[in-house]
Amino acid sequence: MDDEDDDDDDDVLADYRDKPNITDTKLDDGGAGGGVSPADLERFEKEMVETLHRGIKNKLDVDAIVLEAGSLKLTHHALLQDYYAAAFAAFFGLTSPQPVEGKKAERDTLKSLMMLLKDWKPVLKKFAKEIKDQQLMVEGLAKCCVRHPEFSPLFAYTLNLIYDWELVEEDAFLDWEDEVIKEKDPAMMKVLALAEEFLTFLKEADEEEDEDD
In the chain, % of residues over pLDDT 90 = 78
* Nearest partner of 147 among 73, 84, 97, judged by Cα: 84
**Mean pLDDT value across residues 127-156:** 97
pLDDT tens digits along 142-193: 999 999 999 999 999 999 999 999 999 999 999 999 999 999 999 999 999 9
Options 1.25.40.180, 1.10.3720.10, 3.40.50.970, 3.40.718.10; CATH for 3-212 is: 1.25.40.180
What pTM does this model have?
A: 0.83
Residues 6+ apart with CB under 8 A from 16: 53, 57, 94
pLDDT tens digits along 39-58: 999 999 999 999 999 999 99
Residues 6+ apart with CB under 8 A from 209: none
Residue 60 has pLDDT above 60, yes or no: yes
Residue 136 has pLDDT above 70, yes or no: yes
Q: Which long-range contacts (CB under 8 A, 24 or more apart) does 57-64 make?
A: 57/13, 57/16, 59/1, 59/9, 62/119, 62/120, 62/122, 62/123, 63/122
